[in-house]
Chains A and B, each alone.
Chain A
Amino acid sequence: MGVENVIELRGVSKALKAFTINNMDLQIKQGFVTGFIGANGAGKSTTMKLIMNLLQPDSGEVSVFGLDYASHEKEIKNRIGFVYDSNVFYESLNLKDIGRIVAPAYKNWDQKQFKAYVDQFELPLNKPIKKFSKGMQMKASIAIALSHDAELIIMDEPTAGLDPTSRRELLDIFQEVMVDGKRTILFSTHITSDLERIADFIVLIDKGEILFDKPVYELQEQYAVVKGSTELLDSDTEPHFIKIERSPNGFHALTKDAAKVKEVFGKHVVIEEASLEEIMFYMKGVQNQYD
């Protein structure tokens, strides 16, 4: 099955004060939800800004829908819905006026759809945004992002600041917009349980470097947390693990080849499915495991 890439980063480098992105390659597949994970400051927001052309790479190429920003900026952005982790809308304005500013910018703005989301999220139209709670601001951004028939929806921490009920409600909406298969979602989060439910692909970034980009089931099947006695560890067995934590009571380690570990250690160790959170934790500081 031919999978097309909606976003492609080829050899992108960008030096910033805080850190550097060096020769990054990244492909985001059309029709799927890609979850972008990594610790704070790992480079998630910077990568997203590069994708949005808010930052321009020092070298390398960024293309979206197969188009480059130099000559197709408007067309690309017409087809993108964006949600940022902080409020970007004029704080003193109410949602109605923000709608008035944003709507004419898009070719396919759907006022009815916008109204429907506003109603569904129970957002007040006449209250200034600055009086919205963080969750309401997020929902307002999402309502705008989903009201112009965007094919690519880019969200930076969209579920941060939302209570569990609202988070579930949003995940349902994201799944709903994915049903027709025309859309692609890229979203960063550190609430990894949200991704475990809806993400198709997981991209892990650390220190400006992509550590892996895999379908979720591969992570669930191949990665595992292994626990056992430290006596089992030696130069022959250690290479089966990505990272090992030792304590007087034994070791905890992450492997990306659960089947092999099972074969080597058999019943001498406990093997558990690794959650995204655990994978993130163990992979921090580990250099490129891309394969």
Chain B
Amino acid sequence: MTNLIRRDLIIQKFQLYLFIPCILFFIFAGSHMSAFFIFVFAGFFIPINAYSYDEKAETNILLNSLPYTRTQIIASRYIGAIFYMAVSIIITTALFYVFNRPFTWADIAIGAGITLTLFSFSFPLFYLLKPGNIGTAVTIGFILFVVLSGPAVIFFEEYLTPVVDFLVSVSSSAIYLSSAGIVTALYAASWIISQIIYQRKTF
């Protein structure tokens, strides 16, 4: 299983060189952005990028011909995503610290929570799609993102940021715990759904 997780690093070693410059870009150019937003980007980057490699039918044929079970392949995706997200957030935190950009622990917690929620929705969706269509889905998603990015930024600024600020200000452990519980449940449900979808997939 660790082999499968390690594989994600080997297959995207070139993209990894882009990771730190990207984060630095956000730290410097994105000074108007909330810190949690950068954490979301950082946490999302490696797992989603690794996932895009599994899009191809050939990759699935390879993984399923090697001595791995389908359960393991899905588990490595979900465990690996948490692992890489954590590492990315640690690196980003270090960069924030080095370059003196202010952030709070709440930014990290909320960033991680949003990232995991995004994973929870995107993974099963991708497993559901036919190989070859994921590229299309990502492209459409990207176009939507570009079109909606203006409103989205406003949405983030206007609604999400106050919500985050509210959460930060309330800082009640009850809210954190229940949010964490919801995210965990969502992630677990997503894992089970992906597992069921993948088990029935043909290559």
Please measure, in the bound complex, the distance between the C-alpha atom of A82 and the C-alpha atom of B203, giving whole angstroms. Answer: 15
- The segment from A50-58, A200-208, A269-277 that touches chain B is A50-58
B98 an interface residue at 8 Å Cβ cutoff? no
- The segment from B60-68, B130-138, B179-187 that touches chain A is B60-68
Closest residue of chain B to A98, judged by CB? B10
A101 touches B69 (CB 8 A): no
In the complex where A54-B202, A90-B59 touch, is A77 in contact with B65 (Cβ < 8 A)?
A: yes
B178 an interface residue at 8 Å Cβ cutoff? no
A54 touches B7 (CB 8 A): no
A49 touches B203 (CB 8 A): yes
B31 an interface residue at 8 Å Cβ cutoff? no
* CB < 8 Å A-B pair total: 62
In the complex where A55-B202, A86-B58, A87-B58 touch, is A101 in contact with B65 (Cβ < 8 A)?
A: no
Please measure, in the bound complex, the distance between the C-alpha atom of A54 and the C-alpha atom of B64, giving whole angstroms. Answer: 7
Q: Residue B65 contacts which of A55, A88, A92, A100 (CB distance < 8 angstroms)?
A: A88
Closest residue of chain B to A79, judged by CB? B67
Closest residue of chain B to A101, judged by CB? B7
In the complex where A86-B58, A100-B10 touch, is A53 in contact with B202 (Cβ < 8 A)?
A: no
B interface secondary structure, majority: helix
- Chain B residue numbers with a CB within 8 Å of A169 are none
Number of A residues near B (Cβ < 8 Å) is 30
Please measure, in the bound complex, the distance between the C-alpha atom of A104 and the C-alpha atom of B68, giving whole angstroms. Answer: 11
In the complex where A54-B203, A74-B68 touch, is A101 in contact with B10 (Cβ < 8 A)?
A: yes
B10 touches A93 (CB 8 A): yes
In the complex where A49-B203, A73-B69, A105-B68 touch, is A90 in contact with B61 (Cβ < 8 A)?
A: no
B121 an interface residue at 8 Å Cβ cutoff? no
Interface residues of B in 145-170 (CB under 8 A from A): none
B64 touches A52 (CB 8 A): yes
Closest residue of chain A to B4, judged by CB? A105
A105 touches B3 (CB 8 A): yes
Chain B nearest CB: distance from A6 CB in Å?
Answer: 16
A78 an interface residue at 8 Å Cβ cutoff? yes
- Chain B residue numbers with a CB within 8 Å of A105 are 3, 66-68
B103 an interface residue at 8 Å Cβ cutoff? no
A84 an interface residue at 8 Å Cβ cutoff? yes
Chain A nearest CB: distance from B4 CB in Å?
Answer: 8
Please measure, in the bound complex, the distance between the C-alpha atom of A126 and the C-alpha atom of B11, giving whole angstroms. Answer: 14
Please measure, in the bound complex, the distance between the C-alpha atom of A49 and the C-alpha atom of B202, giving whole angstroms. Answer: 9
- Chain B residue numbers with a CB within 8 Å of A93 are 10-11
A132 an interface residue at 8 Å Cβ cutoff? no
A172 an interface residue at 8 Å Cβ cutoff? no
Q: Residue B61 contacts which of A78, A84, A100, A107 (CB distance < 8 angstroms)?
A: A84
Chain A nearest CB: distance from B47 CB in Å?
Answer: 17
Chain A nearest CB: distance from B5 CB in Å?
Answer: 11
Please measure, in the bound complex, the distance between the C-alpha atom of A102 and the C-alpha atom of B6, giving whole angstroms. Answer: 11
Given contacts A77-B67, A101-B11, 15 further A-B contacts (CB under 8 A): A52-B64, A53-B64, A54-B65, A73-B67, A73-B69, A75-B67, A77-B65, A84-B61, A88-B58, A90-B53, A92-B14, A97-B10, A104-B6, A106-B67, A107-B67
10 contacts between A and B (CB under 8 A): A88-B58, A88-B59, A88-B61, A88-B65, A101-B7, A102-B66, A105-B3, A105-B67, A106-B67, A107-B67
B: residues with CB less than 8 A from A are 3, 6-7, 10-11, 13-14, 53, 58-59, 61-62, 64-69, 202-203
